[in-house]
Chain A
Amino acid sequence: MPFYRRLAALLSGLVLAAPLWAADIDAQSYGYPLTNPFEATIATTPEGLRPTLPADEDIDQDDYQVKLRPEREFEVPDNFWSVTKLRYRLAQQKGEAPLIFIIAGTGAHYASSTPEYLKKLFYGAGYHVVQLSSPTSYDFMTSASRFATPGFSPDDADDLYRVMQAVRAQHPRLAISEYHLTGYSLGALQAAFVSKLDETRRSFNFKRVLLLNPPVNLYTSISNLNKLVQTQVEGVNNSTTFYELMLAKLTRYFQKKGYIDVNDAFLADFQQSREHLTDEQMAMLIGAIFRFSSADIAFTSDLINRRGLITPVGYPIGEGTNLTPFFKRALQCDFDCYITEQLIPMWRARYDGTSLNQLINQVSLYALEDYLKSSDKIAVMHNADDIILGAGDLGFLRRTLGDRLTVYPLGGHCGNLNYRVNSDAMLEFFRG
């Protein structure tokens, strides 16, 4: 008997001492239908598998604006009039409730589809919800960013933190029991930095922080996205550009169908049809969307800081000014170009930075390794087939977060956020 007891003690000791493994969901029990990561990224979850959400008319919500950088009104040209104040959306519950901040992904507006979806999900579960634009978006850069050169995560987090404080100050009567924070894609990386900042500034004392599909090494993610527009796309030739190819496919699809109807099921149905896109075509489409983001960032940052790289300094711009020539120039600037021409020079001047590697370490999750290891309130949900990750990134997350990391086998980049299994897990995490 004593032998058995000793064995039991030894075994339980071993079990307790074992490292905490990340929760890996296996594909079979997960049941997510889209096995193609590009398709999942573009179309997201089929309609029947999404969670039930409250209807728009059942949500008590409004858009508000705060003036955070009063000088911008006088610094930016007239046609920026709509973005001199930062807008955000707040959905309020009736009585006291926890409040959750949602940070949007690269270039995204607070009212774009993913923050809207997350809002509905959390509102339905009884949270006040605040939706914030990404620090890389046109409106945030102009109205809330101190240096208007996004990409240096500690600064972006600082800007976000000021915005959150201003939002809270604008609603003194809102009864809040505790604060939570989430973000997806680039917004998730920024959420981690915001949470770190909150440990010293202590304005919110976030109870739980959830990072959804964050980039681990920001440069890997950017390189992946830059590379997507380098795929060899079938059907593109001297007489047909990529967009013409896409539009021709759409036209044939609708002609066959007999009428135009773009609803939630449209993308899934399109991929089932003869006109379905190949992986390369989908990759190009995703890459193109990010190139438009980088063009907006490069143009806006250059203009606000008067760097003269895209818009000549002092060029008169009014509401009637043709911006197409600047758009054309900005389009040729991908994320790499933006980093080299604008972010690195600013970072060197302001923070005495040196090499690109040093910058990467300062802006990626690596900079928070110790914090992520020790802070139990942070969890990460990621996908094994996420297109913004590179080799070793999941390994870093596994080592750093242990059992606070959940790896889903499918979903591409954020394609499974609106899958019922994921939404249940998210709510469960915040419920604690």
Chain B
Amino acid sequence: MVKPFKKTLLLALLLISGMAQAQHDQVDEDGFKQPLKHLQFNPGLDQEEFERATLTALNIYDPLESWNRRVYHFNYRFDEWVFLPIVDGYRYVTPTLVQRGVTNFFSNLGDVPSLLNSLLQFKGKRSMKTTARLLLNTTLGVAGLWDPASKMGLPKQKEDFGQTLGFYGLPAGPYLMLPLLGPSNLRDTGGLVVDFSAKNQVNFLNVAEASTHHPEIILLEVVDQRSTVNFRYGQLNSPFEYEKLRYFYTEARKLQIAE
């Protein structure tokens, strides 16, 4: 009685393992799964979608290209020789906790123009959230040194005047590489100026006024900003970094405006 039972069990096991094998019929005798086999290829293998898409993407209005490229190289050098050494020194001497406090503090100030621009675009929900962030972080977060709002599920939602202009349909205009500030365009450069003066007008937490007497506050803000932006010139490691940066910037702005 026992023996035939064992045999059927063995048979059943063999069958099961056979089925398990059949499920992976793409696997060859080396155990290679041939991942490209099920892809749908263009039959002639002669489509030029990559070329078409990329050549189209290179069409960005850039009448000041020669100037822009020079500024790109200037920024690259400045970053390498001045900016990043300062940032590294700052990071070396400042404890991580303090760095985070500084970042949070300036980020909290930045929520003021974000709120104004959300209002200008009639984004009700976003305005409410940014207001809540400002209230929470300025009080509970001690003038913005901590960011309890993000932990409570209110992530930062940046809006600038360039985005507001884009929201109302203003085109980007010519691409511009701004000295020290990096990639931009005519519309966003205008936006930058407006946001800057708005910040000065509002004078939130009296920082704008204090910085006129203490330019080191501005310096700290600039250094903090550079240390939180991850981009490094040369990081794309391509002779065509200028073109790639231009494309990424333009598309990222489109995305920010559409969202």
Cross-chain contact B237 with A137 (CB below 8 angstroms): yes
What is the bound-complex CA distance between A398 and B30, given in angstroms? 8
Cross-chain contact A324 with B243 (CB below 8 angstroms): yes
A 309-331 to B, binary, CB cutoff 8 A, 1 in contact else 0:
00000000001111110011011
Cross-chain contact A291 with B50 (CB below 8 angstroms): yes
Cross-chain contact A232 with B255 (CB below 8 angstroms): no
Cross-chain contact A241 with B49 (CB below 8 angstroms): yes
Cross-chain contact B238 with A292 (CB below 8 angstroms): yes
What is the bound-complex CA distance between A229 and B54, given in angstroms? 12
Does chain A have a CB within 8 A of B93? no
Cross-chain contact B31 with A251 (CB below 8 angstroms): no
Cross-chain contact B36 with A260 (CB below 8 angstroms): no
Does chain B have a CB within 8 A of A299? yes
Query: Using a CB-CB cutoff of 8 Å, which residues 201-259 of chain B contact chain A?
Result: 232-235, 237-240, 242-243, 251, 254-256, 258-259
Residues of B within 8 A of A288 (CB): 50, 53-54
Contact of A386 among B35, B42, B76 (CB under 8 A): B35
Does chain A have a CB within 8 A of B22? no
Cross-chain contact A242 with B237 (CB below 8 angstroms): no
Cross-chain contact A260 with B255 (CB below 8 angstroms): yes
What is the bound-complex CA distance between A109 and B110, given in angstroms? 34
Residues of B within 8 A of A227 (CB): 36, 41, 45
Decide: A242 near B49, CB < 8 A? Known: A254-B255, A320-B70.
Answer: yes
What is the bound-complex CA distance between A203 and B8, given in angstroms? 63
Decide: A231 near B67, CB < 8 A? Known: A255-B259, A331-B55, A394-B31.
Answer: no
Q: How large is the interface on A (under 10, 10 to 19, 20 to 34, 35 or more residues)?
A: 35 or more
What is the bound-complex CA distance between A422 and B239, given in angstroms? 34
Does chain A have a CB within 8 A of B179? no
Q: Max chain A CB contacts within 10 Å: which of B234, B239, B242?
A: B239
Decide: A241 near B52, CB < 8 A? Known: A323-B243, A327-B243.
Answer: yes
Q: Max chain A CB contacts within 10 Å: which of B31, B39, B242?
A: B39
A 156-176 to B, binary, CB cutoff 8 A, 1 in contact else 0:
000000000000000000000
What is the bound-complex CA distance between A254 and B67, given in angstroms? 34
Residues of B within 8 A of A291 (CB): 50, 54
Closest-CB distance, B96 to chain A (whole angstroms): 6
Does chain A have a CB within 8 A of B34? yes
Query: Using a CB-CB cutoff of 8 Å, which residues 68-89 of chain A contact chain B?
Result: 79-83
Does chain B have a CB within 8 A of A279? yes
Number of residue pairs A-B, CB distance < 8 angstroms: 167
Residues of B within 8 A of A260 (CB): 255-256, 259
Contact of B41 among A232, A389, A398 (CB under 8 A): A232
What is the bound-complex CA distance between A128 and B76, given in angstroms? 29
Query: Using a CB-CB cutoff of 8 Å, which residues 376-418 of chain A contact chain B?
Result: 384-387, 389, 391-395, 398, 407, 409, 412
What is the bound-complex CA distance between A112 and B256, given in angstroms? 26
Cross-chain contact B35 with A241 (CB below 8 angstroms): no
What is the bound-complex CA distance between A233 and B41, given in angstroms? 9
Cross-chain contact B50 with A287 (CB below 8 angstroms): yes
What is the bound-complex CA distance between A258 and B240, given in angstroms? 33
What is the bound-complex CA distance between A232 and B157, given in angstroms? 37
Cross-chain contact B155 with A259 (CB below 8 angstroms): yes
Cross-chain contact B235 with A109 (CB below 8 angstroms): yes
Does chain A have a CB within 8 A of B27? yes
Decide: A319 near B69, CB < 8 A? Known: A251-B259, A300-B239, A327-B240.
Answer: yes
Residues of B within 8 A of A251 (CB): 254-255, 258-259
A binding-site residues for B, Cβ under 8 Å: 24, 37-38, 57, 79-83, 107-109, 111-112, 133, 137-139, 224, 227-233, 236, 241-244, 247, 250-251, 254-255, 259-261, 279-280, 283-284, 287-288, 291-292, 295-296, 299-300, 303, 319-324, 327-328, 330-332, 384-387, 389, 391-395, 398, 407, 409, 412
- Jot down 13 A-B pairs with beta carbons below 8 A, ordered by A: A79-B239, A109-B234, A109-B237, A228-B36, A231-B39, A231-B42, A283-B39, A295-B240, A327-B240, A328-B55, A391-B32, A393-B32, A407-B31
Give 9 nearest A-B pairs by CB, closest first.
A241-B53, A109-B237, A320-B66, A394-B30, A395-B30, A385-B33, A37-B35, A242-B53, A229-B50
